[in-house]
Each structure stands twice: as C-alpha cells, then as structure tokens.
Structure 1
Amino acid sequence: MQRFENLIDGKLRPAASGKWMPSLDPYRNENWCEIPDSDQSDVNAAVAAARTAFGSSQWAGISATARGAMLRRAGDLISANAERLAELEVRDNGKLINEMLVQLKTIPQWFYYYGGLADKVEGGVLPIDKSDHFVFTTWEPLGVIAAITAWNSPLLLLAWKLAPGLAAGNTFVIKPSEYASASTIAFAELFEEAGFPAGVVNVVCGTGQGVGAPLVAHPDVAKIAFTGSDAAGKAINKAAAGDLKHVTLELGGKSPNIVFEDADLDAAAAGVASGIFAAAGQTCIAGSRLLLQRSVYDLFLSKIRELAEGVKIGDPLDPETQMGPLANLPHYQKVISCIADAKKEGAVVAFGGEPIKYATGGLFVQPTIFRDVDNASQLAQREIFGPVLAVIPFDDEADALRIANNSNYGLAAGVWTKDMPRAFRMSKGLQSGTVWINTYRALSFMAPFGGVKDSGLGRESGQDMIKSYMQVKTTWINNASERPANPFIMRLN
C-alpha cells in the first residue's frame, strides 16, 4: 500500500506520532493508500516553517515580478503532471477521469492569471486635504494562510486559494480532507521544483479535530481559506473571530435550476442533468432543486427521467463512464439515509432512489428524482451532496423567485428561458452568488465565485481576489518644518 507523507519546510515526513490512516478507493471499496494521522505538533512545525519562510529574504525579499514567474513555472509543471495528478484524484474520491483531466488541464490557468497579476497590485498617492503632508498607500501580504479543502475537487479548490495567496506574497499550510489527501501532497511537491523556497507551501494531513482545529486556532495563522460544509464553516468562523483572523468561506448549496415554459427544453434538460448527476451530485453548485413551470411539468420530467435512465455508471477511470461512485463510506451512508428520510416524509420517487450493488463493491447510488416536492421539506432544504433531484412546480416568475429564495443557501442558480428581459429580472431577484442563464456549472479563473447566506463569506477567483490575501497600509509624511499648533489635539484640519 502506498504511503504519502506530510510536506513541511520542504521535506516529506510522517506524522510526529508515527500514526497513519487509510484512504479508500470508493470504486473498489478498499483502502489503497495511507496518509499521516497528524496532530498539534505537526501543525506547529508547519506553521513555524511557513512563518519563517514568510519573513525570509528568499521569499519576502524577492520582487512581485519574481513571484509571478514562479507561479507561471508552477502552472507549467501542473500541466506536465496533469494525468498523474488526475489519476490520484480518481483513486481518492471516485470522480470521473474525464472531469479530473479537464480540471487539471485548466488549473494552470489560475497560476498563469495570478502570476500575471502579482506585480500589478498598486497603491496610490492620495490627494489629501492637508497640503503639508504627502500620503500614499501600499498593499502587503497577510502572512501565513491556512487553506482547508474539501474531498470532492481537492486540487481545483486548492488552486483557487493558493494562486492568489502566493501571488500576494503569503505562505501556506494546507490541510486537505482526510478522505482525499494524496493528490494534494503530490501537487504541493511541484512548488519546490518551480523555485518556491522551502516552507512557502506546506501540507499537513489528518482529521478536522487533529489538524483542522489546531490550525484554525494557531496564533500565527493570519487567514483561513476554507471550502466545506456550512456547519464546519460556521465553527471555523466562530473560532477565527477569537483573534480576528481573516476568513474566506465557500460553503454548501441547495441551488435552484429554474426552467420556464419558453426555454429550449432539450438544452435545459441536458443542463439540469449535468447540474445534478455530473460528479454524482457531489458538488457545492449542484442544481439539486429543479423548479419547473407547471405548463411543461410532465413533458420536461419525462425528458429528465429518460436522461437519468441512460446514465452510464461504472469505473471512473473508464472514459465512457458518466457517473462514478460516491467518494467515501460516511458520505455514502449519509446520502442513503437522506433518500430514506425523504421517502418517510412522503416524497414521491419518479426514478431511482436505491443504492446499486456493483460488482466491485463500489459506493454507488442510482440517479434519483423525486417529483412534486414541497419546498419546505427536508428534501428541498437540506444539502444532500449526491445525485438526488427534488422537482418543484411553480406557476409564474414571481412564484419561481419566491421558491428559489426560500432557502438558507445562496451559492448558485440556473435560469432557462428565451426571454432575455426575464433573464435579467431573475438574475437581479435571485439571492445567490452566481446566476447561470441557459447554462450551468460554468466557472473561470476570471470570474468571482462564492455565496450569500449560509453559502459562505467572500469570493474566490477574479481580478480583485488577490487583495483578499492582502491588507492596505497608509503612510503619512509631514513635508512642513513647523511644529503642530497644539500637540494635544488630533490633526483633522
């Protein structure tokens, strides 16, 4: 069985305790590698290494242009290693090799983009109202960043944090999910090859209790960038508030995919299927609530059912497979339990609703559709994070907005219509961080991404996000030789 070690101060090392924990291949339902079961001592070592690197001449003493060049080299190395990294992710979380290859071939764009932005962050000279003073601003890095990532797309989620944070001049301690750590360690090793000094990028593997909590609480961590559940995000936000750490929290979703009667129904059906069955629904932006106008309800439901029936389920390393297994055993059990709860609540199964007894013993669940769902039900309000679609009828535009916004979440939403004035009205009225019109699951390094309400705080990606890893400093210079008229009064005029 393979072993992957922590990366601390440029060296691969096991947990200080000598403990290991297994990682499951969900397609075969068997352990395929081991990762360190780390604790506070490993966190302390990694944060110390990151703190030392942050103040070192090899990192703090180089120009922003040099940092940008390192990021671009890292992008080249990620591209060159895309297939190896994609296969590691498939073994770890069961995602499709086709999707992982697309992600790994796109991730370098974040490093090229922020590599280009590294030396474009400019302060300014202020036209201050006091003629005897010269005042200017500069932007400076925060310090040590704790990046805590989820198991569903570890490297993509990490790139969103690492690229802008490194471009800004910070250093990192990364805590990957204990259910999918192998690819993160292999990924992080590339940064030394790209020229980053030891200690700039560190990885500590382990549980939330053993590694996540002490990392969040560590006094030398300046910011926490987290992707995961809303419950964990709220706990992190509360802990971070104790010593005023910066936070970016990308949390859960229960996104509405809204289909109007005038939509291209075939295109909409493909978009709805992609929104919930792709990645077996294990994505924060899953369109898990289908809001369907009554006039096309039965017709459109038959199209979605036909697509669900045709989904090819199987080996995630097979390029022909369209839906793989769920990523780990606890999550598989949770999804099965959510489906059972929905049935007990009286929800009507239109398709699926059962686990699949697969030949390999893999953690498979049928694509599942519930019809005529009450938006107030647990099925419609709870993030299941599986291939489970709740279909909810609506009457008109106002009704669709009312239902869509009646959720604690607000990460994303989809709207399918040929009426462009309606599309703009819906975009304005929907309470979500992203709105897709006649498309779904489209992302870019150029576009800010994040949620409102319980879906999180802050944004990732886009030009301005580099400044979320920085803080502004204002410098005042007195050009006059005279003493202040009264030294005991604040200079406000």
Structure 2
Amino acid sequence: MSTFDLPVPHQLLLGGTWTDAAGKATFVVTDPATETPVAEVAAATEADVAAAVESATRGFGIWRATNAWERSRVLRRTAELIRDRVEQIALVMTTEQGKPLAESRAETLATADQYDWYADEARRIYGRIVDGHGPGSRIFVRHEPKGVVAAFSTWNFPALLASRKIAPALAAGCAVIVVPAQETPLTTLMIVQALLDAGLPGETIQTLTGSATMMSPLLIAAPAVTKVSLTGSVPVGQAIMRAAAESLTEVSLELGGHAPVLVFADADIEAAARLCVGAKFRNAGQVCASPSRFFVQEPAADEFTRHFVAATRDLRIGDGRDPATNVGPLTNARRLSAAEHLVADAEAIGASVAYGGRRPDGFPAGHYYSPTVLTGVPDTATIMVDEPFAPVAPIGTFSTLEDALRKANSTEFGLAGYVFTRDLNTAFAASDGIEAGMVAVNHMAIATAEAPFGGVKKSGFGREGGTEGILDYTHVKYVSVAL
C-alpha cells in the first residue's frame, strides 16, 4: 500500500538488500493532514535487529578500510543525489510529517549540506605527533572510527536529524544502524537510498523501522554497537542512558529545548517580531531549537506584541501540499492534545489569548491547531516550564539584563537562545549569560552544517555539525615509539 506515484522504500535494509521484516510484520504511516493511511512499512522484529548488527559488523570492517578520499566521494555524491531528488523527498516528507512543502524542500537541501560538509571533514580528521622526553621517542595521536553506531532520530525533521548522525559517522569510517521514528520513516529511507545509489557499500548502513522501544535495548546491549546517538525527549534520553550504563556504551543525546528570546528595547522591534513569528511557527512549532519563550524589555513590550500578533494573523493554515500554506498540521494527535492543554493551563492561571487559542474552522480532519499568542503568562504556567513543541507563543516582559537572564535560565533546558539588540555590549553580555549550547544575535538561523549543534543541562551532550561533530564518532589512539 502506498499513495505515492514515485518509488519509495518501505522495507528494512539488511545486508545491502531491501527486505520484508521477519514474519512480514508491518505498521501503517498516516498523513497528519487527512488522517488517512499513506504507506505500509516493515516492522522490525528481534531477529531483524540481530541480523542488522551482524551485517553492520561486517560493514564496519569494509568501510573502516576504505580510504578517506573514497568516503568523501560517496558522501559528496550523496549530497548531489539528494539535491537532484529534492522535489520527490519534499513531497514524501510533507505527506508523512505535515510541514509545508517549502519547509520540506529547505530541510532536504540542509540535509544535502550535511553530506557535503562531512565529505570534506572525512579527509580532515587530524592527529598529531608529539616529541617524547628524549630524542629517540615519538608520540603519535590519531583518531579512529568507533565502530557500529546505532542512530535514533525523531519525527520533526526526518531527513535532517537522521543525517546529522549518518553523515559524520560515515565520514569517520563507522557503520550505521538507523532507526527512524515510526511517524516518518519514509523520508529517512529515501535518504538511505541516495547513499546506496552514491556507492556506499550496502552492509555499511542498515535501517530498522518499527518500535524503537523494542529495538533500543537490543541494539545498546549488542557488543558490536559501540556508540548510540539519539535525538528525542528527556525521558527517552534517560532510558537510553540507563540501558547504556549496563553495557558501558557511549551515548550522545540531543534532547530538545525551551529557547528564550530576549528582545531589548533598543532593537528593531518590528523586524524582531516578524523574525520571531517565522521561526516560532515553522513546522507548527515542532522544532527543538525553536524560540519558545519571548521576553521583551518593558518599554517595547506593547509594540512587539502588536507586530507579533499582526504577523501571526498573516499566516495561512492548511495542508502542507498547498503552496499557499505557512503552517501545516501537527504531526500526531498527541501534539494536538498537548497544544490544547498548554493554552488551557495558561488561561486558567491568568494568561490572555491575544490570537488563536483553538482548533481552526474548516478542517474536519487533520491535527490542526491555530498559531496562538499568549500574553501575561505567569512563570509557573506549564508552557513556561515544559518544552511546548506546539504553535503556541507566550510573551512576557523583563526590566533589566539581570532580570532577563534569570528568566531565560529558569528551565532545565539549555539548547538555544536568541537575543535582539543594537548594542554590542548587551549582545555579548546576554549571549555570555544565557545557559545554552547555541545563541543567535539578531537572527534565527542557528542550525547550519558548519557549526556545532547541541546543548547543555537537560538538553543533552555531544555535538552534531561542524568540525566537532565528527569527533563524537572517533576514539583517540596514542602510540609511543622508541627509535
């Protein structure tokens, strides 16, 4: 079963071959805009997990022996193929995930950038030579690939998040077992097909679709799996770490965020408001680095709110396949219920709905929720504490820089933060003071292939992107030679 006119993988990739799951088990992928079935996808069993580990172990032996220039060539060709297939990949992504086609195209092109960037980094994994204590000794330090990597990605960016793990791992010489989210497996499988078409040896990458809850303990416990990378929620990250503790498997985690935006009175208030609206409601608010708490210096609060609401009114809700759509449906029913709870909770303790606050009219099916603006939100409201992952924007105020930083750092998250000001001293003081792995000043485009993406506190550890990203997939070997 498939609603697509183009070929889309829907099986497991084991040993270089697309194959049904053991026992022919499957699950159904649903279109969040219509709540209708999209495709039937293989549901991996325990036997399939074991087969993936065995095949990846062989694949690692092949790929680690492949020289860096050849690894670079395969990754570069993958980037080219992804760009060539941008329209097909974007259509599949929008159909299973819900985001507008323009956003799906942008994600697909950003995914190609990951393979382009790591095509270069594959040839630049530098070691060093250190003089020893005497003239007859040399110390060599080099980075070697960790081994078989289990990569778990979530559903909000099904091409990009998986590729932030796959690209650096392959560049380093590792083999990869990819486990995409059940909501959005098809996009990830299309990226994997591009890797195969680019010449990647089949056993170097495996894909397992289905229940990550069943598969993760098996993969983590497998002696051949030496590294686990996860993008997901804090509870899932904690479960992964507990399982990894038993086998002492290395883990890197990107666990989401609750990014503060500090808008100082000297900023270009209208421009800041419009940038914030575009970033906040991208992907219906389902972005881990999304600006999600807006704090405006008191003299500028009314002006900012006025422009923010006006820009939100201009957004058009609809099916992501409609070119006029700015905001598509939420990806699943859980997120829709969560959005309704966040608004009801904030209203119950004194917040006001300046715009939205309900499901939009005219959509008998689909997980749609109106882009919503809240004002006067108490600091104790759920939306100010928990990661919202919804198209709901709370606006608050601050008086001084110290007050702003206290509010910005009041959650357990520390992924991203944003600052708007014309004053250079304020820009540095605020960016230094925000407890986050990433801070953007006067813009929102914080995620890019050439820069390290990751957080602090309960947003996780490890970095994806930049020169730092490849190092998470290597270990350091030191060799001492007496001449």
Query: Is residue 351–residue 369 contact of structure 1 (8 Å, CA) maintained in 2?
Result: yes
Decide which of 470, 474, 478 is 1:470's aligned counterpart.
474
1:288 aligns to what SS in structure 2?
strand
Match of 1:12 in 2: 18
Cα deviations across residues 66-104 of structure 1 (Å, max 9, x unaligned)? 111111111111111111111111011101110111121
Match of 1:386 in 2: 390
Match of 1:34 in 2: 40
Size of the aligned set, in residue pairs, is 477
| Residues 1:152 and 2:156 aligned together | yes
Note closer, same or farther for the CA distance 1:388–1:137 as it changes in structure 2 (3 Å cut): same
Distance 1:254 1:10 in 2: 40
Matched to 2:480, the amino acid is: W
Decide which of 362, 365, 369 is 1:365's aligned counterpart.
369
1:139 positional shift? 1.3
Matched to 2:323, the amino acid is: P
Distance 1:218 1:271 in 2: 46
1:339-378 equivalences in 2 (<5 Å): 339-359=343-363, 361-378=365-382
| Residues 1:82 and 2:86 aligned together | yes
| Residues 1:211 and 2:215 aligned together | yes
Matched to 2:460, the amino acid is: G
Distance 2:438 2:121 in 1: 23
Query: Is residue 175–residue 203 contact of structure 1 (8 Å, CA) maintained in 2?
Result: yes
RMSD: 1.5
Matched to 1:9, the amino acid is: G
Distance 1:389 1:217 in 2: 41
Distance 2:275 2:301 in 1: 16
Matched to 1:27, the amino acid is: A
Distance 2:440 2:143 in 1: 33
Distance 1:354 1:478 in 2: 73
Note closer, same or farther for the CA distance 1:337–1:215 as it changes in structure 2 (3 Å cut): farther
Cα deviations across residues 198-245 of structure 1 (Å, max 9, x unaligned)? 111111001222223322333321111111111111221222122222
Query: Is residue 294–residue 394 contact of structure 1 (8 Å, CA) maintained in 2?
Result: yes
2:291 aligns to what SS in structure 1?
coil
1:26-175 equivalences in 2 (<5 Å): 26-56=32-62, 59-175=63-179
1:141-290 equivalences in 2 (<5 Å): 141-290=145-294
1:105 positional shift? 2.1
Query: Is residue 220–residue 247 contact of structure 2 (8 Å, CA) maintained in 1?
Result: no
Distance 1:393 1:163 in 2: 41
For normalisation by structure 2, the TM-score amounts to 0.96
Query: Is residue 205–residue 211 contact of structure 1 (8 Å, CA) maintained in 2?
Result: no
1:151 positional shift? 0.3
Match of 1:395 in 2: 399
For normalisation by structure 1, the TM-score amounts to 0.94
Query: Is residue 275–residue 287 contact of structure 1 (8 Å, CA) maintained in 2?
Result: yes
1:258 aligns to what SS in structure 2?
strand
1:61 positional shift? 2.5
Q: Quick check: 343-352 or 241-250, which moved more? A: 343-352
Match of 2:6 in 1: none
Note closer, same or farther for the CA distance 1:212–1:342 as it changes in structure 2 (3 Å cut): farther
Query: Is residue 438–residue 446 contact of structure 2 (8 Å, CA) maintained in 1?
Result: no
Distance 1:403 1:459 in 2: 25
1:360 positional shift? 5.2
Query: Is residue 216–residue 240 contact of structure 2 (8 Å, CA) maintained in 1?
Result: no
| Residues 1:313 and 2:314 aligned together | no
Query: Is residue 276–residue 389 contact of structure 1 (8 Å, CA) maintained in 2?
Result: yes
| Residues 1:412 and 2:416 aligned together | yes
1:315 positional shift? 1.7
Q: Quick check: 357-366 or 279-288, which moved more? A: 357-366
Distance 1:63 1:354 in 2: 56
Cα deviations across residues 126-167 of structure 1 (Å, max 9, x unaligned)? 111144433212211000011110101111111211111101
Matched to 2:407, the amino acid is: I
Distance 1:392 1:213 in 2: 42
1:162 aligns to what SS in structure 2?
helix
Distance 2:80 2:364 in 1: 36
Q: Quick check: 240-249 or 21-30, which moved more? A: 240-249
Residue segments in structure 1 that go unaligned for 5+ positions in a row: 480-493
Q: Quick check: 362-371 or 341-350, which moved more? A: 341-350
Q: Quick check: 239-248 or 352-361, which moved more? A: 352-361
Query: Is residue 417–residue 438 contact of structure 1 (8 Å, CA) maintained in 2?
Result: yes
2:287 aligns to what SS in structure 1?
coil
Distance 1:17 1:288 in 2: 44
Query: Is residue 346–residue 377 contact of structure 2 (8 Å, CA) maintained in 1?
Result: no
Decide which of 303, 316, 328 is 1:299's aligned counterpart.
303
Q: Quick check: 139-148 or 300-309, which moved more? A: 300-309
Q: Quick check: 170-179 or 239-248, which moved more? A: 239-248
1:384 positional shift? 1.6
Distance 1:264 1:434 in 2: 22
Which structure has the greater CA radius of gyration?
A: 1
Matched to 2:291, the amino acid is: G
Query: Is residue 349–residue 378 contact of structure 2 (8 Å, CA) maintained in 1?
Result: no
Note closer, same or farther for the CA distance 1:341–1:37 as it changes in structure 2 (3 Å cut): farther
Cα deviations across residues 387-409 of structure 1 (Å, max 9, x unaligned)? 11111111111110111011111
